[in-house]
Amino acid sequence: MKWMRERDLLIAQTMAFVQSVTGKKPEAEIFTRGDVPAVRPTRLPDVEAMLAESVSVPEPQKPPQNSMPALRAGRSEYQSDIQARVEKFRAHQARFNREREAYCSATVARMQATLDKYPAPRPK
Protein backbone atom coordinates (compact mmCIF):
# COMPACT_ATOMS: atom_id res chain seq x y z
CA MET A 1 0.00 0.00 0.00
CA LYS A 2 2.83 2.35 -0.84
CA TRP A 3 0.54 4.52 -2.97
CA MET A 4 -1.71 5.17 0.03
CA ARG A 5 1.24 6.41 2.02
CA GLU A 6 2.35 8.64 -0.86
CA ARG A 7 -1.21 9.94 -1.21
CA ASP A 8 -1.39 10.80 2.51
CA LEU A 9 1.96 12.54 2.28
CA LEU A 10 0.81 14.60 -0.70
CA ILE A 11 -2.40 15.57 1.09
CA ALA A 12 -0.45 16.58 4.18
CA GLN A 13 1.97 18.68 2.16
CA THR A 14 -0.89 20.34 0.30
CA MET A 15 -2.72 21.14 3.54
CA ALA A 16 0.47 22.58 5.05
CA PHE A 17 0.93 24.76 1.97
CA VAL A 18 -2.68 25.98 2.08
CA GLN A 19 -2.31 26.82 5.77
CA SER A 20 0.90 28.75 5.11
CA VAL A 21 -0.75 30.74 2.30
CA THR A 22 -4.09 31.48 3.98
CA GLY A 23 -2.81 31.75 7.54
CA LYS A 24 -5.72 29.61 8.79
CA LYS A 25 -5.46 26.53 10.93
CA PRO A 26 -7.62 23.50 10.14
CA GLU A 27 -9.50 23.90 13.43
CA ALA A 28 -10.81 27.26 12.19
CA GLU A 29 -12.56 25.62 9.24
CA ILE A 30 -15.47 24.08 11.14
CA PHE A 31 -18.82 24.59 9.45
CA THR A 32 -22.05 24.33 11.40
CA ARG A 33 -25.56 23.81 10.10
CA GLY A 34 -28.63 22.94 12.02
CA ASP A 35 -29.50 19.78 10.09
CA VAL A 36 -25.94 18.50 9.61
CA PRO A 37 -23.62 17.64 12.49
CA ALA A 38 -20.37 19.63 12.68
CA VAL A 39 -17.41 18.07 10.92
CA ARG A 40 -13.92 18.59 12.28
CA PRO A 41 -10.93 18.18 10.00
CA THR A 42 -8.86 15.08 10.52
CA ARG A 43 -5.46 15.31 12.12
CA LEU A 44 -2.69 15.68 9.57
CA PRO A 45 0.10 13.10 9.51
CA ASP A 46 3.60 14.14 10.52
CA VAL A 47 5.17 15.14 7.21
CA GLU A 48 8.74 15.16 8.48
CA ALA A 49 8.42 11.64 9.88
CA MET A 50 6.92 10.36 6.63
CA LEU A 51 9.71 11.98 4.63
CA ALA A 52 12.30 10.40 6.89
CA GLU A 53 10.71 6.97 6.34
CA SER A 54 10.38 7.38 2.58
CA VAL A 55 12.11 4.88 0.37
CA SER A 56 15.50 5.95 -0.88
CA VAL A 57 15.82 6.40 -4.62
CA PRO A 58 18.50 4.18 -6.16
CA GLU A 59 21.27 5.88 -8.09
CA PRO A 60 21.03 5.57 -11.87
CA GLN A 61 23.24 2.90 -13.36
CA LYS A 62 26.18 4.00 -15.47
CA PRO A 63 26.25 2.78 -19.07
CA PRO A 64 28.95 0.28 -19.96
CA GLN A 65 32.20 1.76 -21.23
CA ASN A 66 32.09 -0.03 -24.59
CA SER A 67 28.67 1.32 -25.64
CA MET A 68 30.02 4.08 -27.92
CA PRO A 69 31.69 1.84 -30.52
CA ALA A 70 28.51 -0.24 -30.71
CA LEU A 71 26.46 2.85 -31.50
CA ARG A 72 28.86 3.91 -34.24
CA ALA A 73 28.84 0.46 -35.77
CA GLY A 74 25.02 0.24 -35.62
CA ARG A 75 24.45 3.64 -37.22
CA SER A 76 24.13 2.19 -40.73
CA GLU A 77 21.66 -0.33 -39.31
CA TYR A 78 19.50 2.52 -38.00
CA GLN A 79 19.77 4.42 -41.25
CA SER A 80 18.70 1.41 -43.29
CA ASP A 81 15.81 0.79 -40.90
CA ILE A 82 14.65 4.39 -41.24
CA GLN A 83 14.99 4.28 -45.03
CA ALA A 84 12.95 1.08 -45.16
CA ARG A 85 10.22 2.66 -43.04
CA VAL A 86 10.14 5.77 -45.22
CA GLU A 87 9.83 3.66 -48.37
CA LYS A 88 7.04 1.62 -46.80
CA PHE A 89 5.22 4.83 -45.85
CA ARG A 90 5.60 6.25 -49.38
CA ALA A 91 4.24 3.01 -50.90
CA HIS A 92 1.32 3.14 -48.49
CA GLN A 93 0.55 6.75 -49.43
CA ALA A 94 0.80 5.91 -53.15
CA ARG A 95 -1.67 3.07 -52.66
CA PHE A 96 -4.07 5.47 -50.92
CA ASN A 97 -3.73 7.94 -53.80
CA ARG A 98 -4.47 5.21 -56.38
CA GLU A 99 -7.50 3.99 -54.42
CA ARG A 100 -8.80 7.54 -54.00
CA GLU A 101 -8.43 8.25 -57.72
CA ALA A 102 -10.19 4.98 -58.61
CA TYR A 103 -13.07 5.76 -56.23
CA CYS A 104 -13.40 9.28 -57.61
CA SER A 105 -13.42 8.00 -61.21
CA ALA A 106 -16.04 5.36 -60.40
CA THR A 107 -18.25 7.92 -58.64
CA VAL A 108 -18.02 10.36 -61.57
CA ALA A 109 -18.80 7.54 -64.02
CA ARG A 110 -21.91 6.53 -62.00
CA MET A 111 -23.03 10.16 -61.85
CA GLN A 112 -22.51 10.58 -65.61
CA ALA A 113 -24.47 7.38 -66.30
CA THR A 114 -27.35 8.67 -64.17
CA LEU A 115 -27.32 12.02 -65.97
CA ASP A 116 -27.33 10.25 -69.37
CA LYS A 117 -30.24 8.06 -68.32
CA TYR A 118 -32.28 10.97 -66.98
CA PRO A 119 -31.41 14.09 -68.93
CA ALA A 120 -32.14 17.47 -67.40
CA PRO A 121 -35.38 19.09 -68.64
CA ARG A 122 -34.87 21.90 -71.15
CA PRO A 123 -36.14 25.32 -70.21
CA LYS A 124 -39.23 26.46 -72.17
Task: Give the whole-angstrom CA distance, residue 76 versus residue 51.
Answer: 49
The more confident residue out of 52 and 94 is 94
Q: Where are the domains positioned within the chain?
A: 2-30+38-52, 88-117
**2-43 pLDDT, tens digit each:** 888 888 888 888 888 888 888 766 554 555 556 656 656 666
Q: Is the pLDDT of residue 124 over 80?
A: no
pLDDT-derived band of residue 54, with 50, 70 and 90 as boundaries? low
Q: 79-93 as b/e, with b when 16 or more CB fall inside 10 Å?
A: eeeeeeeeeeeeeee
**62-109 pLDDT, tens digit each:** 666 655 555 555 678 889 999 999 999 999 999 999 999 999 999 999
Task: Give the whole-angstrom CA distance, residue 26 versus residue 15.
Answer: 9
